[in-house]
Structure 1
Amino acid sequence: MQSKLTVGYVLIGLVSCLTVVFIARQLIRSDFEEYVLQEEFALFRADLADYAARHGGLERALHIEPFSTFATPLEASRRWQGQPFRFLVMDQAGALLFPAGPYKAGEIVPGGVLAEAVPVTVDGRVVALAAHIGEERLVRDDVRFLGTADMALAVGAGCAMVLTALLGLAFAWRQGRPAHRLVESVRDVGTADGGGHCVELGTDDELAEMAEVYNAMSDELARCRVELGELAVLDPQTELYNRRHFDEQARQFFESAKRYEQPLSLVMGDLDLFRGLNEQFSREVGDMVLEKVAELFTRHTRKSDVVARYGGEEFVVLFTNTTRDKAAIACENIRRAVEAYPWDEFHPDLKVTISMGLADNTGLDSASAMVARAGQFLTSAKADGRNRLAGTE
């Protein structure tokens, strides 16, 4: 490897006369890459608008079909083909919907990024903001165009130097490309989307051995990240969101509802006499009850709502863009579904009910205040005889 690099450095030094050609080439490449980036960004925004329009809005689209699935048939004609995207998509408050680079989903982007973001509109209505980060990603036709430009510059510098330039560039590319690909892949491991990338260098030297080790580590890292990502937001027993994720989602939705003066409702439910149920029918039956109740909550809520197991036998639902009156209807449907479910399939004597407390964002200054108020109404529902919804007044 060292001898190859040494020969390459010597050859590059011998073609110093190409300095002027190189400077001209860089100027052309810089302008062309900026054009490619803007064209790529425009195509992405157009496809994002089509995606939102097809499903009746971006928020609804995200719950129906991942953008990557929607975009797959378009990849052959789009410059931004392949994952991960190099574009940030955020709501008008700056909360990220599609992350890229160092940013994560749900994160509020810096003010400078938000100020430069471009609106994505559907029928004259802004559905999201988009911004590009990083450098351009050239497709095959772009590389071919730049290669042609390089050749023209080389010919202009003199026929005698063309052969030397081609030999130097070919040798540098052949030796530097594998190392560059390996370095870029290693850098990707440190990003939020890193891992799972296989590098094929096509060489039989030390770099090839390093690539084999990297591929094994990358696959293992990708697997671990998937498992950790699921553990970070899901309750393993009910497969609902966990409390930490719910609190974060509630905080973000509350701020958005406050900014745009939208209604927001939250219900907290607690299974009645659940501790006695565990003692009478066993914890195994109690676990099956929790799983079934989680299923009933999911069945009677929308995909846009945030449903979570808040702890023990407590469940919470954040009804997005929903008034308290409409949320009360959904809550009653859940309560009745729990009461009416044929629990005797788990045990002949088993009966399960749930008490619920409902609150909205009226007059409150935080999501935690909504949770606290819903908890107070839940306590009232328990005190008034259980198996009822409080907070609808």
Structure 2
Amino acid sequence: MKLRTQIALSLVLVSLVSAASVGGIAYWMLMRDFKQSVLDDAFSRFRDDVAAYIDAYGSWQQAVQSEPFPRFVEYRNRPLPGMTEGPHSSLREDSYFQRRATAPFMFLLLDTQGVVMKPAEGYAIGQSAPELLDDAFPISLRGEVVAKAVPLGDPNLSPQDESYLRAMRQALLTGMSVAVLIALLLARMFMRRMSKGVGRLMVAVRQMRQQGKLQEPIPVRRNDEIGALSEAFNHMSADLAKAHDKLRELSIRDPLTQLYNRRHFVEQASQLFEQAARYDHPLTFLLADLDHFKRINDQFSHSVGDEVLRQVGQLFTKNLRKSDVIARYGGEEFVVAFAETSLAQAWQRCETLRLAIENHPWHEIHPELKVTLSGGLCGALTLGSVKRMLHQADTNLYRAKKLGRNCIERSPQEVDSVA
């Protein structure tokens, strides 16, 4: 599963859990507050009924002997025609019982000492229950507490209450659904925005891995972690490109002379030969080595020999063109590919190089040190391959050594054809 899919699912899950939690807590608080409201309203009316009952007959005991409390309440809240005097004269037109079929709460009535005055579930008249006093609601008459009431059980909800709660539940569910939908839309927008940055990173990484594109910077358009990651990737890509170029350069360079090595020269020479042969352009090769180099190592030490090779490499680079492919072929041997260069032009450049080596101040390395160069040239593309042309250049080098060294030789037939 992709990372962005995992993040999207996580966001959806968090949204669902959050919406369910908020909705559940809101519904619990609604029910709690609603029940408390029903309780407060029911107690207010029960308190008024009890106070009126006691006030009408002087005490609870006298009232019970004179008239049952339920009947008193019924008459008090539902007056009979013509009843305008007596204990029921303070009747209410807006009785709570006019809006309910049954009382919302059943109350246990205690005196101030905790003795049951009005029975309820599990409690009889005269039973002592002082442990209930702490949770009881006081009922006062003319500033004096005459009784205490304890609500029992859950409220009996009226049809109006049930309808109200259904409406509230529906509102909460609708709100939760809208919240989840908004969360899904925001998650999608967030994922699309985030996936752009991640997608660019993935494309760049894939190109780096499959196509070797090390320095392909991606645009940094964000200030968050993805933007920081993109910027870090660009720095890493640039560093890798530099390191790759450096490693590649090291892999094709001779560490002592800093000229190309033999392997790289063969690759470049093959490409130059194919182009020259296809378009009938001139191409000349030089194969050269230092005269009596073994004697230099034996007479002046190998460290002197290494310094000679190093400075000869610098002279090759200084006296030849940047377009010429120069390499250390092995030991004291050097090879050069002169692209777009005739045999005569190559000979002139090689002569300049030979004289530069001969006249170089070698005495600065050792007073008795002298260095010269012998070489052989070949520009005969008709030989058909780089290998054969280098073989012919080597033959011409051998002839230069036989002629006394410190010279550049060409094939006689090539010289005649040029002439």
1:384 CA drift (Å): 2.2
Per the alignment, do residues 218 and 369 of structure 1 end up closer, same or farther by CA in structure 2, a change over 3 Å counting? same
- The structural deviation recorded for 1:375 is 0.8
Which whole-Å deviations, capped at 9, do the CAs of 1:96-146 have from their partners, x for residues lacking one?
A: xxxxxxxxxxxxxxxxxxxxxxxxxxxxxxxxxxxxxxxxxxxxxxxxxxx
Counterpart in 2 of 1:315? 334
Partner residue in 1 for 2:247: 228
Counterpart AA for 2:305: G
Q: Please state whether the residue corresponding to 2:9 is helix, strand or coil.
A: helix
Contact 2:376 2:395 in 1 (8 A): yes
1:251 aligned residue (270, 285, 308): 270
Q: Which residue number in structure 2 is paired with residue 5 of structure 1? A: 8
Cα distance between partner residues in 1 of 2:12 and 2:383: 68
Q: 1:388 to 1:325 in 2, by over 3 A?
A: same
**Corresponding position: 1:193 with 2:213:** yes
Residue 227 of structure 1, CA deviation: 2.7
CA offset digits 1:370-389 (Å, max 9, x no partner): 11110111111122221111
Does structure 1 retain, via aligned residues, the 8 Å contact 2:375–2:407?
yes
Counterpart of 2:306?
287
Does the CA-based 8 Å contact 2:277-2:381 persist in structure 1? no
Question: What letter matches 1:330 in structure 2?
Answer: R
CA RMSD in angstroms comes to 3.4
Deviation at 1:215, TM superposition (A): 7.0
2:195 partner amino acid:
G
Higher relative contact order (CA 8 A, sep 6+): 1
Deviation at 1:235, TM superposition (A): 1.3
Label 1:213 to 1:305 Cα distance change in 2 as closer, same or farther (>3 A).
Answer: closer
Cα distance per residue 1:156-183 (max 9 Å; x no partner): xxxxxxx99x968743432312321221
Return the alpha-carbon distance in structure 2 between the equivalents of residues 360 and 9 of structure 1: 74
Deviation at 1:351, TM superposition (A): 0.3
Residue 199 of structure 2: aligned partner: 180
- Say whether residues 1:343 and 2:346 are aligned partners: no
1:373 aligns with 2:392: yes
Q: How far has the Cα of 1:349 moved from its partner?
A: 0.4
Rg larger for: 2
The reply to whether residue 264 of structure 1 matches residue 267 of structure 2 is: no
The DSSP-based 3-state class of the residue aligned with 1:363 is helix
Please state whether the residue corresponding to 1:267 is helix, strand or coil: strand
Q: Report deviation, 1:285.
A: 1.4
Structure 1 residues 261 and 219 mapped into 2: Cα distance closer, same or farther (>3 Å)? closer
Q: What does residue 143 of structure 1 align with? A: none
Output the CA distance in 1 between the equivalents of 2:293 and 2:200.
57
**1:63-86 residue CA offsets vs partner (Å, 9 max, x unmatched):** xxxxxxxxxxxxxxxxxxxxxxxx
Counterparts of 1:358 and 1:255, CA distance in 2: 19
In 2, the alpha carbon distance for the partners of 1:227 and 1:325 equals 36
Pair 1:359 & 2:375 matched? no
CA distance in 2, matches of 1:278, 1:196: 49
Does the residue aligned with 1:349 lie in a helix, a strand or coil? coil
> Partner of 2:370: helix, strand, or coil?
coil
Name the TM-score, length of structure 1 as normaliser: 0.54
**Which residue of 2 is the match for residue 306 of structure 1?**
325
Q: Residues of 1 paired with 2:354 and 2:6: CA distance?
A: 75
The 1:363–1:178 alpha-carbon spacing in structure 2 relative to 1, beyond 3 Å, is closer
8 Å CA contact retained: 1:182, 1:199: no
Cα gap change, 1:263/1:9 in structure 2, threshold over 3 Å: closer, same or farther?
A: farther
Aligned-partner residue type, residue 277 of structure 1: I
Q: Is the 8 A contact 1:198 1:218 kept in 2?
A: no
Q: SS of the residue aligned with 1:316?
A: strand
- TM-superposed deviation, 1:226: 2.5
Structure 2: distance between partners of 1:228 and 1:174: 38
Instruction: Specify whether residues 167 and 5 from structure 1 end up closer, same or farther in structure 2 by C-alpha distance, changes over 3 A only.
Output: closer
SS at structure 2 position matched to 1:307:
strand
Counterpart CA distance in 2 for 1:392 and 1:195 is 47
SS at match of 1:262: coil
Contact 1:356 1:377 in 2 (8 A): yes
Gaps of 5+ in 2: 14-181, 413-419
Distance change in 2, residues 1:340/1:362 (3 Å): same
Question: Aligned partners of 2:371 and 2:242: how far apart in 1?
Answer: 39
Q: State the alpha-carbon separation in 1 of the partners of residues 198 and 240 from structure 2.
A: 21
- The question of whether the paired residues in 1 share the 8 Å contact of 2:376 and 2:393 is answered with yes
Amino acid at match of 1:382: K
Note the residue ranges of structure 1 that are not aligned, 5 or more in a row: 11-162
Counterpart mapping for 1:1-393 below 5 A: 4-6=7-9, 170-190=189-209, 191-194=211-214, 202=222, 218=237, 221-391=240-410, 393=412
Q: Is the 8 A contact 1:4 1:175 kept in 2?
A: no
Q: Partners of 2:239 and 2:204 in 1: how far apart?
A: 14
Q: Secondary structure at the match of 1:387?
A: coil
SS where residue 378 of structure 2 aligns?
Answer: strand
How many aligned residue pairs are there?
240
Kindly state the Cα deviation for residue 211 of structure 1 after the two structures are TM-superposed: 6.6
| Amino acid corresponding to residue 261 of structure 1 in structure 2 | D
* In structure 2, distance between residues paired with 1:246 and 1:188: 29
**1:334 aligned partner, one-letter code:** L
Q: CA deviation at 1:2?
A: 5.7
Displacement of 1:240 in angstroms is 1.2
Question: Is the 1:188–1:195 contact (alpha carbons within 8 Å) kept by the matching residues of 2?
Answer: no
TM-score (norm 2): 0.51
% identical equivalent positions: 42
